[in-house]
Every structure is written in C-alpha cells, then in structure tokens.
Structure 1
C-alpha cells in the first residue's frame, strides 16, 4: 500500500497598492471606479500556475488578490493568518506606478519585518530600468531592504520562475525582463474572483487585448515599458475572457489597450463580440481608449458601438499644435478633432478626453483661453486635466535626469495631479493655481448644461447622464481633493495607516479632524449633486431638446476653419489649417491626374 501524500499550501498574495493623499493617508474607497487590469492578469497567471502544479503535485497554490483602492490592506492581519496556517507565501506588490511606490515600499517594510518574502513590479521599476543607466536610489533601497524587484511582464512561464524561487527560498534581488517582452496570444485568461470584483463600482472588470505602441510621445511611459512593437491577443482569447467573466455575472469591462484603434485585430474583436450578442445573447458594455484618428478607419465607430462600446477615452492631449509637436505627438491633427468628436457624439457614445497642461509654451492666459475654445467648439463630454509630468520611464524624465534638472524627489506626487517640476513661464504658485482654475473653468454649471443639451438632442440619449458624470468629476476635485480618475464611492480613512515617517495622530485629534472634514465634504456633495441633478432634469424635460444645436455640433466646413478660434488663435493652428489644405490640394491634383489617364486610356 502506498503512503498517504501530505499536501502543503503555498499562498500567493497579490496586492495592488494605492497611493497617499496630501495628509499621508492611503486613498481607499468603499467602491472604486476603475478596476485593476494588472491584478486580473496576474490572478489569471497564478491560476494557470496552480492548474499546471508548477510547485509540484502535492502543493496547493492559494491566490488572494487585494486592490487597495477599494480594500484596506492590513499587513498585520495577513501575516497573522499566514503564521497561524504555517503556509509558505510570497507577497507580490503588483502594477506599482511611480506615485504608488512609497506606499508599496511601506507595505513591503511591514511584511519583510515579519519574515515574509516580498516581490514588487510595475511601471515604476520597469520604466526606470529601461530608461536610466543606473538603478535609482529608491529601488536600490527597496532591494537592500530585501524586496525582489521585477521588471517586465510575467507571461510565458516567468511567474513560474518567481514562484519556484520563492518556494525554494532563493528569490533573486532583481528579475529584469525588459529586453525580452513576451507574446500574449493564448496567454492565461485575466480574471478575478467574484468577491474582488464586487468591490468595483458597477461590477466592472478589465483586460488588455494588446500591449505596446508605435508612437513616440515624449511624456509617455508605455512605449518604454511595453515596447514600441505591438503584441496582441486573439479573438478566441477575447471570447474566453468574456465567457469566464460572464459566468460570474460580469458584463462590463474596461479594455486597457492604450489605443484600441491601432490593434490590428480590432475588427475581428468587435465581430466576435457582435456574434456573441446576436447568437447567444451575451451582451457586454465596453470602455475603450482610442486615438484622434480612429474616425478615419472605415466602420470602426459603427462596429465599436454595435459591439457594446458606450464610452471612449481619447488622448486629445492639447489643442495647440506647437505643444503637440514639442511632445512628439505628431499623430494628433487638430484639424480632425471636431470631425472625430462629432462622429462619436452622433453614434451616441460618451467621449472622455485626456488633456495636458504645462507644456513649455503654455501661459495662464493661453490655458484658460484654450478651455473656453474647447467648451465652445468641440462636442466633448468629460475633460480629464493633467499636469505635464516627467514620469519615470518616459523620455521627458530621462532628458531631465541627464540634464540634472530639479524634479520633486517625492514620488507620491507623480500622479499627474501635483506639480513636480518648475515651469519656464509660470511661477510654481501660478502654475498650480492655473491648473485648479482650468478645472473650474471647464466644469461650470453653464457648460454642464451645454453638454447635457448636446446629448439631449440625440433621440434615445439621457441628458441627465453626462450631467451626472460631470458633477461627479467636479465633486471629486472640489470635495475630495483627488484627481477624479482616482475617485470612488465613500472615502475610507484609517488612523494607523499613515505614511511611514509621519506621526500617528491621537484618537481624539484624528476623529475630530475627520468629523470636520466629513461635514465640509457633505456640504459640497449636497450642493453640487443637487445642482447636477437639477441641470439633468431641466434638459431631460425640455420638450424642444431634440432641436438643440450649437457651434460644436455644426458640420465641419474646411473653408470656414479660419473663422474658428481653435485654428485662428495660435500660430500653430493657422499652420495646421494651411498644411491640411495643401494636403487636400495635392490629393485632388493626384485624383485629377488619375482621371485624365483613365479617360485617355478609354
């Protein structure tokens, strides 16, 4: 008779850290808005390792995911449970961006002090190691503390290696795969367990269908972390992801591709989703990211809407061609902005655009002027304002690092919402005030009503919806003091979770401050929510709302471009119009020559 096989357990703890607010408390919500793709991808890879029994047939791998944007991470409780069970474990701090690195390090410090193995990966480590000739001091300090740094992606068996090393007690100080990015075709399906997804507002999940980008934007980290060569999943991979989540009741997704319109399989992906909708009744709701040229791709917008896309993030970045050129954002043509936004608007999709403030040529006057131009001439819904930030891993950061230019040493501020460099034309105070005023300039009650009216003019659209989202953005900025993309539902704050090195306040002081803060926030929430609701209802109940039009909705006539402030108020705008007209004349000339040749041949 064979002996009884003794089974052991290995715990893989996956933690997606948040970052600290200005008072040093982790930004955590009861429900978060944006799900973590990295957490879903690594959970799927971990589940694949478990199925393949990479640690041996007698070892069970238990995976526990934590997204700190919606879950308080109690290192003491996690360690107590591990010590009680006696299981071996690896604590992985995943998807760590630069602004999350201080929080990740603080968590790692607690786990290492407790005697547990810790690995950390994400854009900060990968970006720094790909763009800098030396290991930055904060990464070296983490390694000296005992953290294993992982740079790169974990597909093609690379997670296997880390798990085996952790199991054998031989974790390396550094795993650097930046020169060998894996393929993602037929990779394990990204997913999360129901309990984790339930903490996302609206029960959303996320996944990617492609990685990498061929463009050269100097402020971007993606091209240096995920590579300039694009890599793709397949339509079969997409179907597997949708079906896996559908079994859990998840049908709403954020596709995290930096630019879905440049994914070579976009049409096959949309066709597969349309087939699932038509043949099996599996309907999904999608948020995607696209570029400003996507409307020129035949059928892209039509099929996107048919497949379930209801919201698009667009990298508008700026309306001044000189700024776009300075940032190497050559693919953005401001002469196409109105056509592109009108195409999405007509389709009924909601448009959310990223917009960067603080280019070298910007002034307070030019920024506030551009806000007014956008409001008047572009049919855009949500504008997401960011400070131009030299993110570690970007060309901008590399350039300033080589030149020895001052950059704020506090990585917690590298969230695109805080100033971390000096501006050449504005003082620090003026730059920061202009950023705040730009938010307030765009999100006025009058403009919220205008956007609601634009949606109300489309049959079947609910104008209260954009009013609600714009109000939510305004509330996050005004009441919570965070960038709206970091927002959520009900902020959670815990006294003992304060940033390492900052004093832990007494119970009385902490709760007194929290009470005053809560009262202040509730007043802002109440006032703005009531304001947004009234605007939405006013437009919704207007019997003539389908007759509404304004300049932003009017057809784009090339001959009238000079009359628009979008093109007339900057030297770059005028040059863009002249270049566009020259290209049109050249195309017309070529077409005429072709017609002449055809006529002669006949």
Structure 2
C-alpha cells in the first residue's frame, strides 16, 4: 500500500458505566443502525471510486458495544499498511459523547484526523445559539464535527477533504436534510452480526416526525417533515442482508404508522414472505393511534411484524399535554393494545417518569393501573431527561436551571435534573420501584397467563423477554436495550480522569461480579421458569381472562381507574362523549335532509 490508499475507520462508541468502564459485552443486543447506514454509504463511495480511480478505499467498522477499540493498535495497523486515514466516530448520542471525546483525543495523539457525528452534535447545532464549551474545546484541539445526514454523497465531500488534509472544523447540513429514496443499503459485514444477539440487524425506512413532543430530539435532528425509502429500497435491503444470513430486523423509524408508504412497504414484505418464502420478522415503532389506520395492524403482522414498540409515555393526560404529546389519547390505549394482541404481536411500551405533575405515589399507582388494565407485555421506564437537541433542554438552559454537567448520565437511566414535586431520592425511588413492581414474579405470571390464553400468545417468548428486561436492570444496572450477554471490562480502558485501579482488586472484584451475577441469573430464571411450566401445564389456560384482555363491549369504559383517577382522564371521556353525540347529530341531520 502507498499514499494512494485511504482508510475510513467507522466507530460507534459505547458509554461508561457508573464506575467509569465502557459498557461492553461478549454479545450485544442489536447492531448499530447508524453504523450500518454509514457503512453502506461508504461501500457505495468506495465502489464508485469517490477519491479517484487510483485511490483504494479501505473500510473498517467497530461497534464498541461488542468490540474493544484500541486507538494505538488501530493507528499502528494503519501505519503498517500505509496510506492516509479518517477516524469517524458515528451516531454519537449525548451519553456517548464523553467516551467519544476520550477516543478522539487518543486518535488525535496518534496523528490521525478525527471527526464526530450523531445526535449530540446535530442536536446542539440545531437547537443552541452557541456550541457547548466542551464541544468548542475539542474542536480547537483539531476534531471535526458533522451535523446532519451523510446521504446525497455528502460523505464523499468529507472523504475528499480528509484525503487531501483539508478537513473542515464543521460540516453543517442541518438546514438541508436529504431524500432517502434510492440511497445505498444500510448493511454491516456479517462478522458484526456474530457478536450480537444473532441474525438481527436494523435499518430505517423513514426519518422525521410531524409531532412536537418537547422531550424529543428526533424532530429537531431529523426534522418534522418525513422522508421515506421506497418499496424497491426495502426489498433491496432485505435481499442483501438475507444473503448473508440476516433475517430479523429492527426498523428504527420513530413512528412507522406515520410513514405514508406503509401500505406498499408491507405489501412488498408480504410478497417476499408468502411468495418467495422468506423467513423474516420485524420490530417496528408506532404511535398509540395506529389501530385507527384501516388495515395497518392486519398488514403489519402479515408482513412479519411480531414485536411492536409503542410510545405510550404516560397514562396521565395532564402529563402528556405538558409534554406536548397531544396525539396520545388514553381512551384509545386498551383497544389499541388488544388489537395488537389479537394478531399475535408482542407489545413494548415506553413510560416516562418525572413529568411535572408526577409524585412517587402517583407513579407507582399508575404502574399498578397499567398492570391491571392494559394488556401490555413489556414496559420500559425512563427518566424524563432534557436531552441536548430537545426543546426541554433548551428551555432549562435558557432559565439557568441546574442540569447535571456529566453527559455520560444522559442515557435516560439516570436522573440529571431536579423535580418540582419529588425530592431527588423520591424520584430515584419511584424509578427503581417501577421496574421492580412491573417485573415482579406475580406480574410476570399474569403476562404469561394472558399469553397462554391466546393461540398466538407465545408465552415462552414472553418469558425470555421479560427476564431479559428484569435481569439487565437488576443485575447489570443498564437499560435492557443497551444490555448484552457476559459483561466485558478492561482495566486500562477506564474513563479519562478517573484513577487507574490496581490489577489485584480490580480482577478480584470483576470475578466476584461474574459469579454473583450468574448466580442471580440462574436463581431468577429457575424460579420464574417454574411459574412458566405451571402456566403451560394448566388444563384451563385458554379460559384465563382478566380486565386487561376482557372483550371491549363498545362502551367508553369510564369505570377504568386509568380514566377515573386523573382529571384529564375524565375530561377526555367527556370530550369523547361530546364528540360522539355531535357525530350522531350530524348523521341524523344528513339523513333528515336526504330525500326518501
């Protein structure tokens, strides 16, 4: 190799745990969508000789959740092979920015040009009048930033500048978000998949969201105008991934139900599944009104959607209104979840703790209501977090309100500000006890009984998923979506600024953690597996029912505690009654005006 060789090293960084060690696993949960997208764009740039016919582009990809990143080793390999290089830290979220900063400085010390892109950079550029001081300092050290999206051959511009030694301090494309149609396939080399949960990968079919939730960064990073890939794009993504043994996918669109091409996209998947016998399954994200779209749930499950994540967020209408999440109607929750259940889909929901009206007692009360009245399978809890790039963050910053300066904590799993009604301790207790109460043995049994009562319920799958969520939180102290199998720790990779530990106590503690965690895993799994066997063996399991799965009787169900316990709930029912009466009156007038 020579100076006519160019190395693009794409790294998706992890973030640090509370002890300062990178969160890394022997096998992580799901491959990075951003890494797949950037790798697909880079492969296309390489194939069309974006740096000229005489320049060979070499691509290197690292997902730090399952692969250790050693800057000195990478730099030595590049020097040995020869050529120029760019280190690209991609898809960096706010909680990953401290880790990305530490890695960037190490690569810069090795003489390698380095750039950082992702939601943190894009969100700050989009929403703040001035770049945060830590970003400014890193930029002054020579690190470049990329804000926006790299489609439409924008990556080519960065590669050319890096190759010519003229990398700009900032590439800002936030005002010009590109179309997705016809763009290269998001794909990762198959070697990445073997270090994840298996034959899983992820991609997006649309970006942007029309809603205005104040806690959300997507609307300010990807825009409020939705952009989509075509059915042909989707088929190409499936075929290219399927060719290397990948048949399970997470479609990362924030709200697939608002993709105006959902019908043609599902039709193409149905064709692949039913005519060509592709064994493919999907996880999608939707809103709480998706069941009102005629045929959406039916086609989704026929197309292979067997898990669906729903942005429930809260069951208190006053909280939803405060967060500008006006599209969520709690009077629709139960019917919507029952429809997904009827078609055999496993339902996940996100639930945010820390809205202004919350108290510890109200949060725990609402969790009990959800357990009793909604046929949810999995519930994920999050702290209300003012993420950089969100309206909440901008408002608090403008008011001078305290926010934790350590971005590593902005993972939705740590409290980073104060609450107007709860003390810090109460807020943390509410969060911790919400997880414990929902994933209690008693409620796990309830979910298993609901699943066993339905022909498409898959109670074994429910058992696995609930135990995954329970054990990641209780044993590993991480959110389930950033979890994995067998935690890896390297003593020398500790966060910059924290003291290095002596090998003897470090490895003694690490070994003790491994033993105690696996004992906790085995104990919990054996205990709950016995519940599962009892449920499966019950001769009348098909006859089980409870309030959550009882048939809808066509009434407004004002007696539900979810409705009755909040002022907003009773007002929502009153509006629904009023709207129904107005619709009926309109129909009556129309009939009266129609000649017989």
Deviations 1:491-546 (A, max 9, x none): 11111110001111111011011122223212211221112222222212222111
Query: 1:132 aligned to 2:128?
Result: yes
The secondary structure found in structure 2 opposite 1:430 is helix
Alpha-carbon distance, 1:558 to partner: 5.3
Matched residue pairs, number?
596
1:170 equivalent in structure 2 = 166
1:35 equivalent in structure 2 = 31
In the aligned structure 1, how far is the partner of 2:213 from the partner of 2:135? 25
2:78 equivalent in structure 1 = 82
1:593 equivalent in structure 2 = 589
In the aligned structure 2, how far is the partner of 1:33 from the partner of 1:311? 15
In the aligned structure 1, how far is the partner of 2:569 from the partner of 2:431? 23
Superposition pairs of residues 165-244 of structure 1, within 5 angstroms: 165-244=161-240
Alpha-carbon distance, 1:559 to partner: 3.8
In the aligned structure 2, how far is the partner of 1:378 from the partner of 1:181? 39
In the aligned structure 2, how far is the partner of 1:162 from the partner of 1:6? 21
Contact 1:355–1:383 (CA<8 Å) still a contact in 2? yes
Query: 1:154 aligned to 2:167?
Result: no
Q: Which aligned segments of 4 or more residues in structure 1 are displaced greater than 4 angstroms? A: none
2:109 equivalent in structure 1 = 113
Contact 1:464–1:539 (CA<8 Å) still a contact in 2? no
Aligned match of 1:505 in 484, 493, 501? Answer: 501
The secondary structure found in structure 1 opposite 2:145 is strand
What's the TM-score once normalised by structure 2's chain length?
0.98
Query: 1:581 aligned to 2:581?
Result: no
Contact 1:211–1:257 (CA<8 Å) still a contact in 2? yes
In the aligned structure 2, how far is the partner of 1:189 from the partner of 1:522? 39
Which range moved further: 529-538 or 547-556?
529-538
Unaligned runs of 5+ in 2: none
Distance 1:247 1:428, change over 3 A: same
Query: 1:292 aligned to 2:300?
Result: no
Superposition pairs of residues 263-302 of structure 1, within 5 angstroms: 263-302=259-298
1:570 equivalent in structure 2 = 566
1:415 equivalent in structure 2 = 411
Aligned match of 2:433 in 409, 431, 437? Answer: 437
Which range moved further: 490-499 or 463-472?
463-472
Alpha-carbon distance, 1:198 to partner: 1.7
Deviations 1:117-170 (A, max 9, x none): 101000000001100000111211220121100000000111000000000000
1:330 equivalent in structure 2 = 326
Superposition pairs of residues 477-496 of structure 1, within 5 angstroms: 477-496=473-492
In the aligned structure 1, how far is the partner of 2:567 from the partner of 2:295? 34
In the aligned structure 1, how far is the partner of 2:4 from the partner of 2:169? 26
Which range moved further: 526-535 or 21-30?
526-535
Unaligned runs of 5+ in 1: none
The secondary structure found in structure 2 opposite 1:553 is coil
Query: 1:526 aligned to 2:522?
Result: yes
2:60 equivalent in structure 1 = 64
In the aligned structure 1, how far is the partner of 2:239 from the partner of 2:48? 21
Contact 2:146–2:170 (CA<8 Å) still a contact in 1? yes
What's the TM-score once normalised by structure 1's chain length?
0.98
Deviations 1:339-374 (A, max 9, x none): 000000111100000000000100011000000000
In the aligned structure 2, how far is the partner of 1:532 from the partner of 1:84? 53
In the aligned structure 1, how far is the partner of 2:135 from the partner of 2:588? 61
Aligned match of 1:344 in 320, 337, 340? Answer: 340
In the aligned structure 2, how far is the partner of 1:591 from the partner of 1:242? 47
In the aligned structure 2, how far is the partner of 1:237 from the partner of 1:359? 40
The secondary structure found in structure 2 opposite 1:29 is strand
Deviations 1:153-191 (A, max 9, x none): 000111000000000000001111111111111111110
Contact 1:468–1:536 (CA<8 Å) still a contact in 2? no
Alpha-carbon distance, 1:220 to partner: 0.2
Aligned match of 2:549 in 549, 553, 570? Answer: 553
In the aligned structure 2, how far is the partner of 1:59 from the partner of 1:551? 66
In the aligned structure 1, how far is the partner of 2:284 from the partner of 2:555? 33
Contact 2:3–2:82 (CA<8 Å) still a contact in 1? no
Contact 1:126–1:152 (CA<8 Å) still a contact in 2? yes
Distance 1:472 1:509, change over 3 A: same
Superposition pairs of residues 315-464 of structure 1, within 5 angstroms: 315-464=311-460
Distance 1:470 1:307, change over 3 A: same
In the aligned structure 2, how far is the partner of 1:460 from the partner of 1:321? 32
In the aligned structure 2, how far is the partner of 1:127 from the partner of 1:215? 17
The secondary structure found in structure 1 opposite 2:66 is coil
Aligned match of 2:539 in 526, 540, 543? Answer: 543
In the aligned structure 2, how far is the partner of 1:518 from the partner of 1:180? 48
